[in-house]
Amino acid sequence: MELNNIKHADGAKHAKRRVGRGIGSGLGKTAGRGHKGQKSRAGGYHKVGFEGGQMPLQRRLPKRGFKSHLLKFNAEVTLTALEQLGASDVDLLALKQAGLVGQLAKVVKIIKSGSISKAVTLKGIGATAGAKAAIEAAGGSLA
């Protein structure tokens, strides 16, 4: 194989369709746009979702749900992750440095997923009722 012999795979490249270039091309005269109407004109088209003046689908359907913009400041940590962290005193800074929560996080809550056997002291971190019971059963506490 030589560099000057390399070719594209079959079907990888195809000629661009040249429209409006005479009868023989098969795409002459109206160039595949049909006759008259908005879609046949240059620059004539409509915005996405426009239905010719009929009330568009996205406006016919009811609005539903809500996503708080404050969610990016909340974070959850599981008991399993807390166990693997291996620190006896855990605060927000320690969790950020370990990469368990994002840098934007302001409110952190421990959730009961997995188990914990080491005693840990939580400072400024909340916990669900189940997680709190599991941490206290392991000899830890919430400050």
Judged by DSSP in three states, 14 sits in coil
**Closest among 104, 107, 138 to 121, alpha carbons compared:** 138
**pLDDT value of residue 46:** 85
Distance CA 11, CA 56 (A): 40
With a cut of 90, say whether residue 44 has pLDDT above it. no
**pLDDT value of residue 49:** 92
Residue 73 phi/psi, 5-degree rounding, is -95, -5
Taking residues 9-36, report their average pLDDT.
93
Distance CA 41, CA 33 (A): 9
Taking residues 2-26, report their average pLDDT.
93
Q: What is the tens place of the pLDDT at every residue in 83-139?
A: 998 888 999 999 999 999 999 999 999 999 999 998 999 999 999 999 999 999 999
With a cut of 90, say whether residue 143 has pLDDT above it. no
Residue type, 91: D
% pLDDT > 70, the chain? 100
Domains, the chain, in order of start with CATH, read 17-61 (no CATH), 71-142 (3.100.10.10)
